[in-house]
């Protein structure tokens, strides 16, 4: 797509795991490097599943247009994306996680716009999970490359985790191979599932319990999320509360939450008259107490759920886990305003 001017104008990557976003970022960086100092536009868009209401086709196209227009502020046709792109020798558009755009009229219209783009000289690159039928229909004629974690890579990852976090007196080479074989066999081409499963296995204290954990191990993301929530609640009380509060704030936030914001929110109580800096939780504890369901993005200083599927699972548990979740979030946000 990059070196051959007669190459395809649109390509769609399909994957179930979070590596789609990493791949999109690599494509963006690669294109910027190849075409530096040339009359080539590179625009990109990363959907946020927390902000679907604002991701209308008009807003998404406006975002892409803003990026393209910022590269050439004297453009005579700033009102449409396609007309703007035509002012460049070549334009590239990268859309990450297309499947995260809200299903309905917004996505339908946006897919129509993307379909129109594929009929021009603009080069489109999009990533998506493999199953959405509307995306298949709209971009079905475009070349597709399926991205999955290879069995050998998953095995290497599991071996590394066992070597790093496992007890060498408990897990010998035979048991290590048994663990790797069992977990890798149900990985479904994703790193996320093995990453959560290996945590459960390595927490066991006897070889028998390790094998029982392998046998009872959930085989899908919803199942492993449920198992992980159970483990979070089984921690010592203070750590269990921290894990649940962290998940509550992240899952209830209307946008991606900054680490410093959660850092401060967790330190506020109804009795607070001011923010007690001595009572602020270290970010590493927020992550550790959630057993892999939460990660920190160091580049953007945000804290989020490890995968979109976890966000889809948690609302089904709100009544049990966070019966007063929205009330707690509201009251906490009001405390600094009324003190």
Between these two residues, 11 and 256, which has the higher pLDDT value? 256
Give backbone dihedrals phi and psi of 280, rounded to 5 degrees, phi first.
-80, 130
pTM higher than 0.85 = no
Work out the pLDDT band at 274, boundaries 50, 70, 90: low
pLDDT at 206: 94
Q: Per-residue pLDDT tens for 106-137?
A: 788 788 888 888 888 889 998 887 777 888 88
User: Which has the minimum average pLDDT: 16-20, 218-222, 229-233?
Assistant: 16-20
Average pLDDT over the chain, rounded to an integer: 82
Instruction: Say if strands 294-297 and 302-305 run parallel, antiparallel, or are unpaired.
Output: antiparallel
Instruction: Say if strands 123-128 and 40-45 run parallel, antiparallel, or are unpaired.
Output: unpaired
Torsion angle of the four alpha carbons 25, 113, 54, 88, in this order, in degrees rounded to the nearest 10: 50
pLDDT at 164: 92
Angle made by CA atoms 281, 246, 193, in degrees to the nearest 5: 120
Between these two residues, 266 and 118, which has the higher pLDDT value? 266
Contact 182, 214 (CB under 8 A): yes
Q: Per-residue pLDDT tens for 40-50?
A: 888 888 877 66
User: Which has the minimum average pLDDT: 78-87, 158-167, 235-244?
Assistant: 78-87
pLDDT at 270: 63
- DSSP-assigned beta bridge partners for residue 93: 43, 124
Highest mean pLDDT pick, 8-12, 38-42, 160-164: 160-164
What sign for the dihedral angle of Cα 29, 82, 59, 146? negative
Between these two residues, 173 and 131, which has the higher pLDDT value? 173
Q: Tell me the percentage of the chain whose pLDDT exceeds 70.
A: 86
Longest Cα–Cα distance in the chain: 72
Residue 94 has pLDDT above 80, yes or no: yes
Q: What is the mean pLDDT of residues 210-233?
A: 89
Q: Angle 221-233/192-202 helices, nearest 10 degrees?
A: 40
Q: Tell me the percentage of the chain whose pLDDT exceeds 90.
A: 28
Give backbone dihedrals phi and psi of 304, rounded to 5 degrees, phi first.
-150, 170
Taking the C-alpha atoms of residue 246 and residue 167, their distance in angstroms, rounded to an integer, is: 29
- DSSP-assigned beta bridge partners for residue 247: none
| 3-state DSSP of the chain | CCCCCCCCCEEEEECCCCHHHHHHHHHHHHHHHHCCCCCEEEEEECCCHHHHHHCCHHHHHHHHHHHHHHHCCCCCCCCCHHHHHCCCCEEEEEECCHHHCCCCHHHHHHHHHHHHHCCCCCEEEEEECCCCHHHHHHHCCCCEEECCCCHHHHHHHHHHHHHHHCCCCCCCHHHHHHHHHHHHCCCCCCCHHHHHHHHHHHCCCCHHHHHHHHHHCCCCHHHHHHHHHHHHHCCCHHHHHHHHHHHHHHHHCCCCEEHHHHHHHCCCCCCCCCCCHHHCCCHHHHHHCCCCCEEEECCCCEEEECCHHHHHHHHHHHHHHCCCHHHHHHHHHHHHHHC
Provide the token pair at 3: 């070196």
């Amino acid at each position: 797509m990059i070196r051959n001017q007669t190459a395809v104008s649109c390509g769609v990557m399909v994957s179930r795991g979070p590596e789609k976003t990493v791949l999109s970022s690599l494509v963006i960086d690669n294109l910027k490097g190849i075409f530096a100092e040339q009359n080539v536009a590179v625009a990109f868009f990363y959907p946020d599943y927390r902000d679907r209401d604002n991701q209308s086709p008009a807003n998404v196209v406006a975002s892409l247009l803003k990026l393209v227009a910022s590269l050439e502020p004297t453009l005579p046709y700033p009102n449409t994306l396609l007309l703007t792109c035509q002012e460049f020798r070549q334009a590239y558009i990268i859309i990450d996680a297309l499947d995260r755009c809200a299903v309905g009229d917004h996505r339908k219209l946006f897919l129509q716009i993307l379909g129109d783009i594929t009929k021009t000289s603009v080069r489109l690159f999009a990533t998506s999970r493999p199953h959405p039928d509307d995306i298949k229909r709209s971009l079905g004629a475009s070349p597709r490359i399926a991205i999955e974690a290879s069995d050998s890579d998953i095995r290497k990852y599991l071996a590394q985790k066992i070597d790093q976090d496992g007890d060498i007196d408990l897990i010998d080479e035979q048991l290590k191979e048994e663990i790797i074989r069992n977990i890798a066999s149900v990985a479904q081409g994703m790193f996320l599932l093995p990453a959560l499963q290996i945590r459960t296995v390595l927490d066991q204290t006897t070889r028998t319990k390790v094998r029982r954990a392998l046998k009872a191990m959930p085989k899908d993301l919803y199942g492993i999320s449920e198992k992980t929530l159970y483990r979070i609640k089984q921690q010592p009380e203070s750590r269990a509360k921290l894990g649940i509060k962290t998940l509550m704030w992240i899952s209830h936030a209307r946008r991606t939450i900054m680490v410093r914001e959660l850092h401060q929110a967790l330190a506020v109580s109804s009795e607070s008259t001011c923010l007690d800096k001595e009572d602020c939780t270290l970010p590493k504890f927020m992550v550790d107490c959630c057993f892999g369901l939460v990660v920190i993005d160091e580049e953007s200083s945000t804290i989020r759920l490890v995968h979109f599927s976890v966000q889809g699972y948690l609302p089904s548990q709100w009544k049990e886990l966070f019966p007063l979740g929205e009330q707690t979030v509201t009251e906490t946000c009001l405390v600094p305003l009324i003190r």
